[in-house]
Structure 1
Amino acid sequence: MVKAWYMDNETTDQRLEHHRNPPEFITLEELYNKTGVEYFSLNVHTYTTDGVLDKIKKERGYSYEDEMVCSKECLANYEEKIKSFFTEHLHTDEEIRFILDGSGYFDVRDGSDQWIRIAVSAGDMIVIPSGIYHRFTLDTNNYIKAKRFFIGEPVWLPHNRPADDMECRQRYLEKLHKGFVAAH
């Protein structure tokens, strides 16, 4: 089960669990209301046959998927890639990740520009909205295997902060101001 909490603005070692002491945990509903990040819990042992993932893919229009493994053994230029994933950025499309194995952290900015850390592990699926500033890193296990989903052709391009003038960022800020409406 995913956990989310506010964290300090730590930038030195992305694999440490820097957070306020005591941590200020938030619920999934609060996470959604504050950021637009959606969460789904899937069974990693039955997702290929139980129809839950297929229903989500159909409802949301996900037409492309692949799998990726992020570890020292499987990722070329590991240290460089981890640093690039941890650089604060946004995308013009949603970022959808279904964790099959391992664990890691997605950090997202709330409306007050504070970091919220989302700890994900096997069975967690999150949808990070287009236009939100975020970053990713592994935890101390240094391993994650995930499915990635896209609507149409995949767009891999991150836009590093600042990117406030981008149309996707303006749309995101408008949704943040008006309130998010879940797609499910």
Structure 2
Amino acid sequence: MVRAYYYKEDDEPMTNLHDSGENVSIQELENIGIFYKSINSLENVDKIAIDRNYKNRDYITLDSKTFPGGEESLNNKLNIFFTEHLHEDEEIRYIIDGNGFFDVRNNNDKWIRILVEKNDLLILPAGIYHRFTLTNNKFVKALRLFKDEPKWIALNRIDGNTESNKYRKEYISSIIQG
């Protein structure tokens, strides 16, 4: 079962829990367009991929022991992933091993932290503000799924032009009507 809670703002490293003690239900996640499912096999992930029309995939491993350039390079990459952003496509991750945190903004602009672990499938809708980091274990192996060719365009909120983005507007409309 997914562990989600409101993010506690403090000066601890981003890889710490930041647990406010206020849990977030699966229903609250669904209300903001998050799809979560615990899946015990790649065969079952493949069924979801077919149902949702995902045509491409790749694997990513983030590991402090093996990351090119070492732990400092991994930390630099995590700083990029942890910058608040959105994508114009769904973000789909199936955790094969290890764990990490996806932080997502709810409709009140509060951060919700979602712990993803082995066998978790998480789908973030296009247009949702989010960020990612590892836990203090600094290891995750994940399957990434794509509807089309893999593309990694993160539109950073800090740049100031994301509110007028078509996919952001569609996302906001979907959670207001949903």
User: Normalising by structure 2, what TM-score?
Assistant: 0.91
Residue 100, structure 1, aligned to residue 96, structure 2: yes
Q: Which secondary structure state, in structure 1, belongs to the residue aligned with residue 19 of structure 2?
A: coil
Residue 4, structure 1, aligned to residue 4, structure 2: yes
Structure 1: 5+ residue runs without aligned partners?
180-184
Separation (CA, whole Å) in 1 of partners of 2:138 and 2:6: 22
Separation (CA, whole Å) in 1 of partners of 2:85 and 2:61: 21
Structure 1 residue 52 displacement after superposition? 1.9
Moved more, 4-13 or 115-124: 4-13
Separation (CA, whole Å) in 1 of partners of 2:126 and 2:88: 5
Structure 1 residue 19 displacement after superposition? 2.5
Structure 2: 5+ residue runs without aligned partners?
none
Residue 160 of structure 1 is aligned with which of 137, 156, 160? 156
In the other structure, the counterpart of 1:56 is: 48
- Gap change, CA 1:61 and 1:85, over 3 Å in 2: same
Structure 1 residue 11 displacement after superposition? 6.5
In the other structure, the counterpart of 1:39 is: 36
Structure 1 residue 18 displacement after superposition? 1.2
What percentage of residue pairs aligned between the two structures are identical? 40
Residue 171, structure 1, aligned to residue 167, structure 2: no
Runs of 4 or more, structure 1, over 3 Å off, are 9-12
- The one-letter code matched in structure 1 to 2:62 is C
Alignment of 1:66-85 (within 5 A): 66-76=58-68, 77-85=73-81
- The one-letter code matched in structure 2 to 1:37 is I
Separation (CA, whole Å) in 1 of partners of 2:164 and 2:121: 29
In the other structure, the counterpart of 2:15 is: 15
TM-align CA RMSD: 1.3
1:100/1:122 contact within 8 Å kept: yes
Q: Which secondary structure state, in structure 2, belongs to the residue aligned with residue 149 of structure 1?
A: strand
1:9/1:115 contact within 8 Å kept: no
Deviations, residues 89-118 of structure 1 (Å, cap 9, x unaligned): 000000000000001100000000000000
Q: Which secondary structure state, in structure 2, belongs to the residue aligned with residue 16 of structure 1?
A: coil
User: Normalising by structure 1, what TM-score?
Assistant: 0.88
